[in-house]
Amino acid sequence: MPRAVRLLPYLETIDANRWYTNRGELVNLLETRLGDVLGAGKAQVVSAASGTAAIEAAILATAGRATPRRPLALLPAYTFVATASAVERCGYVPYLLDVEPDTWTLAAARLNGHPMLERTGVVVPVAPYGRAIAQAAWAEFAARANVPVVIDAAAGFEALAADPARSTGTIPVALSFQATKAFSSGEGGAVIWSDADGLLRVVRSLNFGILWKRESTSAGMNGKMSEYHAAVGLAALDEWDHTARANRAAVESYDRAAQAFGIRERLVLAPDIASNYALLDAGSLAGASDLVAALQARKIESRRWYGYGLHHEPYWRNAQRDALPQTDRIAPSVVGLPMYCDISRDDIERTIETAAHVLASRQRTPV
Ligand SMILES: *Cc1c(COP(=O)(O)O)cnc(C)c1O
């Protein structure tokens, strides 16, 4: 995150303006600058208090709240729980779908003729670990099935910036700027969408259903980004080139260490995914458990960012769902390794050495 000294000019702007939240100068500036990076000249950006608020507002703006005829929201079982929380807060009952073995996300084509579609009010595909999702297939699906789609690309800032024309457009995309993500405003989020009227509905949903006139005309919440968070976002954007270079150096160190220890094919790194993640596919629950224990013994923290799949979270254990063989293979096996822009090469090499040792000893003793 940017240091205090980089925030100072923006904080002084807040003092001078005496404008603290409700779409002030800094929020507008951040949205304009993000639009230049992410919009490809057609999509625009509306900021939010969090990625989850951005998903909710995008759902309310495109699908509205759930109805008795269409109570379901379709989403992948392999995601962070926020996706399910967001649809639930818009009145939907989550229905969990399995992901593809190679991309770890939903395939639009596979939803054709799904028995739940007739009772579905919104589909929320997830860009796993910020991996790019093309708009085209989902725009086609939404038109053909006549079901609105909102893409949860929470960690997808870099994928969107790398190819905005492919990843933004008529389907609203939600981003998170939470501090674990590569680009962050501390807490925060945004919706990127080419539909200007739709974006006004996003603004309204993020402000209690109030737009222009002080009366509430739709479902809503307080999901606005404050000027203080916009200050952090602007400072983060000022130094983004530097951050991105540091991230690339960390990715290169992981890449080189993994090659040296012969486990490169197990690692998933940027630019395939967002650069705030370095993932290792241990191949099985047992392999991943050994890996986590071995890392912990050397005081190296690791994390299954998406748990074991939504259906293994206590609150969601009874969620309606398809069979989930891919999620049940991928989720327990994929372990998040330490990753941040100023991680040292020594720490990376120690992590990879530990991982390589675990994977090699498991190969020697098949179970
Ligand atoms: C981080 C994340 C969210 C939630 O974003 P917040 O800003 O923490 O609300 C939602 N979905 C996915 C896939 C995420 O990674």
Residue pLDDT, tens place only, 63-86: 999 999 999 999 999 999 999 999
Q: How many CA atoms lie within 13 A of 306 on its CB side?
A: 29
- Of all residues in the chain, the percent with pLDDT exceeding 70 is 99
pLDDT for 365 beyond 90: no
**pLDDT reading at 27 higher than 80:** yes
Q: Which atom of ligand 1 is nearest to the CA of 82?
A: 10
The average confidence (pLDDT) of the chain is: 97
82 CA from centroid of ligand 1 (Å): 6
Which residue in the block uniquely carries the two structure tokens 């991105």?
244
Residue 367 has pLDDT above 60, yes or no: no
Please give the Cα distance from 212 to 236 (Å, whole number): 30
Distance in angstroms (rounded) separating the CA atoms of residues 47 and 237: 14
Give 45's pLDDT tier (boundaries 50, 70, 90): very high
pLDDT over 90 at 22, yes or no:
yes
Which residue blocks in 206-344 are alpha helix, DSSP H?
227-238, 240-260, 285-297, 325-333
* Ligand 1 atom showing the smallest separation from residue 176 Cα: 7
Over residues 306-346, the pLDDT tens digits come to 999 999 999 999 999 999 999 999 999 999 999 999 999 99
Q: Tell me what pLDDT residue 23 has.
A: 96
Q: Which atom of ligand 1 is nearest to the CA of 128?
A: 13
Mean pLDDT over residues 146-158, rounded? Answer: 98
- What is the pLDDT at residue 256? 98
The pLDDT of 211-231, averaged and rounded, is 97
Average pLDDT rounded to a whole number, residues 248-272:
98
Read off φ and ψ for residue 5, nearest 5 degrees: -65, -30
- Pick from 21-35, 66-80, 353-367: least confident: 353-367
Instruction: Tell me which residue of 158, 239, 232, 175 sits closest to 46, measured CA to CA.
Output: 175
Reported as half-sphere exposure (CB side, CA atoms, 13 A), residue 331 has a value of 21
Residue nearest atom 2 in ligand 1 by C-alpha distance: 154
Q: What is the pLDDT of residue 209?
A: 98
Only one residue has tokens 């974006």, namely 199
pTM over the 0.95 mark: yes
Ligand 1 pocket mutation, candidates 99, 152, 177, criterion most atoms within 8 A of CB: 152
Closest residue (by CA) to atom 6 of ligand 1? 51
**Residue whose CA is closest, atom 7 of ligand 1?**
51
**Rounded distance between C-alpha atoms, residue 30 and residue 201, angstroms:** 19
Please report, rounded to a whole number, the percentage of residues in the chain having pLDDT higher than 90: 97
Tell me which residues have their CB closer than 6 angstroms to ligand 1: 50-52, 79-80, 82-83, 126, 152, 154-155, 176, 178, 189
* Ligand 1 mean position, distance from CA 231 (Å): 21
- Residue 366 predicted with pLDDT over 60: no
CA atoms within 13 A on the CB side of 139: 15
Higher local confidence (pLDDT), 8 or 365:
8
Residue type, 20: Y
| Per-residue pLDDT tens over the stretch 110-135 | 999 999 999 999 999 999 999 999 99
